[in-house]
């Protein structure tokens, strides 16, 4: 018997409205419109309950990197479910997929990483890091090194610690966050600044806001700095070239731990295995999730550098932290199949040398549209800024919701992207063909035209 009943779109929408509380959703608004029910997917396309075909320009939620319907991944899950669907990694137990995956992850990462801690999501991975960072400094005899520096508008997840690390003001306001010992500095978003400095000057200034904060708090009280190599949920914010080298200098100079949040940028999205490789930084921790399984099953984790892991191991004592699903055998088997597929199809090099440059060039050409004030794309992670005045780069009044209008027009034209304010962002699957890239760009130009028409009609 099939686990899922076949129902009409309307029936699903009614059940959805009555029983399902969605993440990051204004339910009152949703109940007026009803949900878009996605029923199946193949390659880079998703299909809704009316069988409308939509090019998934967001890889689900930045995760379905290998594309949908990959039989190797599906088979790995089914086989592992037959063999051992679950067992825990507590009480001195382990399982082959978790062991194999940890070894495989160290092979594709920088040499300081030999050990992996598994979690179920990116948020859990960042919670793990908060606890591990503070435990590390305790073990080092510096318990006063407690404060973690993050950035405004960062996204590191939704649990209490991860949302505290994040710099989303609205999230903080809703639940009395951040928790103590987490502070925020400037994000390296030149376009969003007053643009009085050159891009590189601005990058240096944004990095030096970390140094200023360290001096303000006291260097002996700062434990770590966390940043996404490119901020994703915040609007695909690509830092100036001057930014990350200066951040690395500051972390080195003050001896603070560097955390590169690779939940979006990990596993190839920028045309290198990790964002840290792309920006040539040497982090002490890398949280990951999403692309490790191409989203086929939930899995997260943390690359822990020898600097930290050696202390945790050598000093002994129990680290009182872990999850039921740490090292879940089926999720780990799926990750192995996914990474093998990315390797055998050379998808990371394909982003660096082929589909990346191809899409980037076309994306840049969208900058000719009268509504577009700026475009940026690294690997397969891009953004365009919608502006009211192309010469002054003046933005629209945010109340007009221009980004959302454009996102809706994109959907009408068969492409799914995200809008962050008036920034339209995309992160398509790694298997995107040239023809599909063309289709994505044509739909975006058309959606921008339709947005312009809607604005002049208003």
Q: How far is CA 249 from the centre of its chain?
A: 25
CB neighbourhood size of 28 (10 A): 7
100 three-state secondary structure: helix
Q: Binding to ligand PXG by residue 295, rule CB under 6 A?
A: no
Sole binder of ligand PXG in the list 98, 230, 289, 448 (CB under 6 A): 289
Rank residues 207 and 299 by Cβ distance to ligand PXG and give the closer one: 299
Q: Binding to ligand PXG by residue 121, rule CB under 6 A?
A: yes
Let me know: does 271 contact 265? Beta carbons within 8 Å.
Answer: no
For the chain, what is the total number of helices (H) and then of strands (E)? 17, 15
What DSSP letter does each residue of 123-151 carry, written as one string?
HHHHHHHHHHHHHHHHHTT-TT--EEEEE
Q: How far is the CB of 139 from ligand PXG (least distance, A)?
A: 26
Size of the site for ligand PXG (CB under 6 A): 17
Q: How far is the CB of 420 from ligand PXG (least distance, A)?
A: 7
Q: What share of the chain is helix, strand, coil (3-state, %, to 5)?
A: 45, 15, 40
Q: Binding to ligand PXG by residue 229, rule CB under 6 A?
A: no
Query: In the sheet that 415-416 helps form, which strands lie side by side, from edge to edge?
Result: 38-42, 45-48, 53-56, 415-416
Instruction: Spell out the residues 6+ positions from residue 171 whose beta carbon is closer than 8 angstroms to its own.
Output: 158, 163, 177
The rounded distance, in Å, linking the Cα atoms of 326 and 300 is 8
Rank residues 56 and 211 by Cβ distance to ligand PXG and give the closer one: 56
Strands 415-416 and 53-56: parallel
Print burial letters for 169-208: b (CB count within 10 Å at least 16), e (below 16).
eebbeeeebbeeebbbbbbbbbbbeeeeeebeebbbbbbe
Rank residues 102 and 126 by Cβ distance to ligand PXG and give the closer one: 126
Candidates 26-34, 48-56, 227-235, 379-387; binding stretch for ligand PXG (CB under 6 A): 227-235
Sole binder of ligand PXG in the list 60, 203, 227, 232 (CB under 6 A): 232
223 three-state secondary structure: strand
Rank residues 197 and 411 by Cβ distance to ligand PXG and give the closer one: 411
Q: How far is the CB of 423 from ligand PXG (least distance, A)?
A: 11
Candidates 115-123, 215-223, 372-380, 381-389; binding stretch for ligand PXG (CB under 6 A): 115-123
Q: Binding to ligand PXG by residue 264, rule CB under 6 A?
A: yes
By CB under 6 A, the residues from 148 to 177 that bind ligand PXG are 155-157
Q: Binding to ligand PXG by residue 326, rule CB under 6 A?
A: no
Rank residues 64 and 205 by Cβ distance to ligand PXG and give the closer one: 64
Candidates 39-47, 69-77, 120-128, 244-252; binding stretch for ligand PXG (CB under 6 A): 120-128
Rank residues 126 and 128 by Cβ distance to ligand PXG and give the closer one: 126
CB neighbourhood size of 243 (10 A): 24
Sole binder of ligand PXG in the list 57, 60, 122, 167 (CB under 6 A): 122
Sole binder of ligand PXG in the list 133, 161, 214, 233 (CB under 6 A): 233
- Which residues are 416's β-sheet partners? 56
The rounded distance, in Å, linking the Cα atoms of 192 and 200 is 14
Rank residues 23 and 141 by Cβ distance to ligand PXG and give the closer one: 23
Is the peptide bond preceding residue 228 cis, with omega within 30 degrees of 0?
no
Rank residues 269 and 418 by Cβ distance to ligand PXG and give the closer one: 418
287 three-state secondary structure: strand
Sole binder of ligand PXG in the list 228, 272, 277, 385 (CB under 6 A): 228
Candidates 29-37, 103-111, 122-130, 203-211; binding stretch for ligand PXG (CB under 6 A): 122-130
Let me know: does 154 contact 165? Beta carbons within 8 Å.
Answer: yes
Rank residues 124 and 436 by Cβ distance to ligand PXG and give the closer one: 124
Rank residues 145 and 290 by Cβ distance to ligand PXG and give the closer one: 290
The rounded distance, in Å, linking the Cα atoms of 377 and 339 is 24
What DSSP letter does each residue of 181-208 carry, written as one string?
TEEEE----STTS---S-HHHHHHHHHH
Phi, psi of 143, rounded to the nearest 5 degrees: -65, -20
Rank residues 205 and 286 by Cβ distance to ligand PXG and give the closer one: 286
Q: Binding to ligand PXG by residue 13, rule CB under 6 A?
A: no
Q: How far is the CB of 297 from ligand PXG (least distance, A)?
A: 12
The pair of structure tokens assigned to 59 is: 């890889």
Q: Binding to ligand PXG by residue 123, rule CB under 6 A?
A: yes
Q: How far is the CB of 263 from ligand PXG (least distance, A)?
A: 3
Q: How far is the CB of 185 from ligand PXG (least distance, A)?
A: 17
Taking CB atoms, the residue at the shortest distance from ligand PXG is 122
Contacting residues toward ligand PXG, per CB under 6 A: 61, 121-123, 126, 155-157, 228, 232-233, 261, 263-264, 289, 300, 418
């Amino acid at each position: 018997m099939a686990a899922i009943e076949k129902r009409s779109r309307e029936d699903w929408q009614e059940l959805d409205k009555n029983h399902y509380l969605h993440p990051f959703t204004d339910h009152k608004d949703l109940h007026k419109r009803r949900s878009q029910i996605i029923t199946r997917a193949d390659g880079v396309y998703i299909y809704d309950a009316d069988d409308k075909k939509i090019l998934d320009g967001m890889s689900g939620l930045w995760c379905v990197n290998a594309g949908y319907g990959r039989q190797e991944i599906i088979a790995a899950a089914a086989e592992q479910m037959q063999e051992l669907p679950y067992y825990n990694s507590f009480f001195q137990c382990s399982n082959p997929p978790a062991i194999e995956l940890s070894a495989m992850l160290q092979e594709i990462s920088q040499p300081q990483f030999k050990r992996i801690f598994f979690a179920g999501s990116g948020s859990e991975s960042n919670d793990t890091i908060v606890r591990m960072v503070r435990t590390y400094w305790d073990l080092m005899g510096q318990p006063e090194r407690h404060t973690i520096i993050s950035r405004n508008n960062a996204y590191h997840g939704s649990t209490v610690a991860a949302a505290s690390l994040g710099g989303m003001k609205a999230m903080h306001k809703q639940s009395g966050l951040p928790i103590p010992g987490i502070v925020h500095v400037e994000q390296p978003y030149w376009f969003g600044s007053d643009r009085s400095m050159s891009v590189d000057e601005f990058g240096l200034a944004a990095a030096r806001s970390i140094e200023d904060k360290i001096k303000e708090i006291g260097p002996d009280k700062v434990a770590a700095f966390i940043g996404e190599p490119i901020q994703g949920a915040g609007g695909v914010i690509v830092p100036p070239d001057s930014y990350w080298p200066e951040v690395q200098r500051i972390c080195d100079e003050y001896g603070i731990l560097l955390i590169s949040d690779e939940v979006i940028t990990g596993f190839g999205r920028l045309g290198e295995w990790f964002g840290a490789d792309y920006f040539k930084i040497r982090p002490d921790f890398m949280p990951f999730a999403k692309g490790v399984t191409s989203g086929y099953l939930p899995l997260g984790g943390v690359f822990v550098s020898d600097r930290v892991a050696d202390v945790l191991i050598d000093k002994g004592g129990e680290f009182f932290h872990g999850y039921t699903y740490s090292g879940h055998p089926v999720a780990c088997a799926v990750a192995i199949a996914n990474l093998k597929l990315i390797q055998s199809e050379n998808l990371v090099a394909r982003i660096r040398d082929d589909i990346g440059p191809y899409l980037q060039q076309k994306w840049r050409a969208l900058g000719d549209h009268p509504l577009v004030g700026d475009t940026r794309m690294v690997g397969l992670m891009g953004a365009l800024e919608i502006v009211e005045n192309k010469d002054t780069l003046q933005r629209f009044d945010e109340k007009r919701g221009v980004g959302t209008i454009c996102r809706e027009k994109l959907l009408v034209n068969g492409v799914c992207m995200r809008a962050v304010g008036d920034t339209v962002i995309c992160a398509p699957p790694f298997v995107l063909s040239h023809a599909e890239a063309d289709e994505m760009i044509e739909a975006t130009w058309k959606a921008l035209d339709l947005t312009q028409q809607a604005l002049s009609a208003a």
